């Protein structure tokens, strides 16, 4: 039992670390862009007009983030389904009853 709790905690720590590292990387990148822009800026820019198309790098980072997240959720779902004690007892009990009925009759 303790081993399963540790494995789940490690999985959650890895997922949280990944999300935090991506968020911090993006915040650091935005901070550097703002510092460069403030050095060159003569007048303030209206923030409502700053609608721009995303770059290839931003699209790649976003798609990788979505892909890894979906992959992690699929693995987590299968791990939970396989290790569900209620489902495994019902499943084995049902197969055992069918096996006994088919061999006795």
Instruction: Give per-residue pLDDT as tens, 68-78.
Output: 999 999 999 99
Number of structural domains the chain divides into:
2
**pTM exceeding 0.85:** no
- DSSP letters, 1-69, are -HHHHHHHHHHHHHHHHHHHHHHHHHHHHHHHHHHHHHHH-SSPPPGGG---PPPHHHHHHHHHHHHHH
> Rg (Cα) of the chain, in Å, rounded?
25
Report whether pLDDT(86) > 70: yes
Range of the structural domain that residue 6 is part of: 1-47
pLDDT tens per residue across span 44-53: 555 565 567 8
**Same-domain status, 67 and 35:** no
**Same-domain status, 63 and 80:** yes
What pLDDT was estimated at residue 85? 73
């Amino acid at each position: 039992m303790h081993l399963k709790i540790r494995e789940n905690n490690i999985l959650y720590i890895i997922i949280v670390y990944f999300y935090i590292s991506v968020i911090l990387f993006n915040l650091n990148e935005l901070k550097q862009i703002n510092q460069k822009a403030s050095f060159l800026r003569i007048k303030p820019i209206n923030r409502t007009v700053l609608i721009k198309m995303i770059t290839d790098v931003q699209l790649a980072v976003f798609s990788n983030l979505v892909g890894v997240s979906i992959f992690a959720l699929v693995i987590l779902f299968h791990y939970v389904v396989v290790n569900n004690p209620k489902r495994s007892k019902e499943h084995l009990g049902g197969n055992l009853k069918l096996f006994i009925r088919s061999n006795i009759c």
